[in-house]
């Protein structure tokens, strides 16, 4: 198996792993608890679940850095500066993801204190809890913006290099713009409403790309063309 095929398999595996860990960590383990009105009590009761969810989200961030590092040697042959920007946005995404993960981990301790005091000075605990939830929200917004900007650069390079079929790159580019639009609306206090489902486009694209890279790999002719240049 040649180097480009091994790289494609690893990149594909990282794409699948990143999405699975994020879906499990955020939407299955953490958010159902943090979105509950009784989250200050529930976090303590579901301590292990919250910690596991935060760790899975952290792994998601590591996987995205892994993708950028793996594809850099291939893409830098034609897109030297853009490939570096791609890594930079993935690093920013990872840092913001880490900050986002600190909120549920901090809430574990806060929830334990809240339960042990018997809700004495409940308003103080609620204020601090609200602050941690707000910090998680804004950190996750920054995760989204870094993800989108990195994805736009990534799919542009893939489209120009033809390393994968162009319809996948176009799909990814459109999906990234859709996520950007909904994130901007939400950031400025405008409810995306029914547009929130557009985020599924990015999820499906990355899952499809992950499977494609594992099964088919990068186009050999495109690899040869990049190597020649």
- pLDDT tens digits for 50-75? 999 999 999 999 999 999 999 999 99
In order of 46, 136, 214, the CA distances from 219 in angstroms are 46, 40, 12
Smallest CA-to-CA distance from 149 within 204, 200, 85 is with 85
pLDDT, residue 211, reads: 97
Start-to-end Cα distance in the chain: 23
What gap in Å lies between CA 15 and CA 30, rounded to an integer?
Answer: 21
Closest CA to 180 of 207, 143, 137, 133: 143
Residues of the chain with pLDDT under 70: 1, 119-120, 192-196, 228-229
Q: What is the pLDDT of residue 115?
A: 87
pLDDT, residue 189, reads 82
SS (H, E, C) 116-155: HCCCCCHHHHHHHHHHHHHHHHHHHHHHHHHHHHHHHHHH
Looking at the whole model, is its pTM more than 0.85? yes
Measured in whole angstroms, the distance separating CA 131 from the mean position of its chain's CA atoms is: 23
pLDDT value of position 229: 57
Dist. CA 14–CA 35, nearest whole Å: 29
Which pLDDT does position 192 carry in this prediction?
67
Name the token pair of 6: 């091994």
Count CB neighbours of 161 within 10 A. 21
Angle (CA) 81 226 70, round 5°: 60
- pLDDT at site 190: 81
What pLDDT is recorded for position 171? 96
Which pLDDT score is estimated for 226? 82
């Amino acid at each position: 198996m040649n180097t480009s095929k091994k790289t494609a398999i690893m990149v594909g595996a990282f794409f699948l792993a990143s999405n699975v860990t994020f879906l499990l960590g955020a939407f299955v383990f953490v958010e159902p608890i943090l979105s509950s009105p009784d989250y200050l009590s529930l976090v303590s009761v579901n301590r292990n679940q919250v910690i596991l969810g935060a760790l899975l989200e952290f792994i998601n961030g590591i996987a995205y850095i892994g993708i950028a590092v793996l594809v850099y040697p291939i893409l830098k042959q034609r897109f030297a500066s853009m490939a570096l920007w791609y890594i930079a946005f993935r690093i920013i995404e990872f840092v913001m993801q880490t900050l986002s993960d600190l909120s549920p981990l901090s809430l574990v301790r806060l929830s334990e204190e809240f339960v042990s005091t018997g809700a004495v000075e409940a308003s103080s605990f609620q204020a601090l809890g609200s602050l941690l939830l707000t910090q998680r929200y804004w950190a996750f917004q920054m995760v989204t913006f870094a993800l989108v900007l990195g994805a736009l650069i990534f799919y542009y390079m893939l489209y120009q290099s033809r390393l994968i079929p162009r319809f996948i790159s176009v799909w990814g580019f459109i999906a990234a713009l859709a996520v950007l639009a909904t994130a901007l609306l939400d950031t400025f206090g405008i409810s995306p409403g029914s547009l929130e489902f557009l985020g599924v486009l990015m999820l499906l694209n990355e899952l499809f790309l992950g499977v494609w890279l594992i099964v088919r790999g990068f186009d050999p002719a495109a690899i040869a063309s990049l190597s020649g240049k």
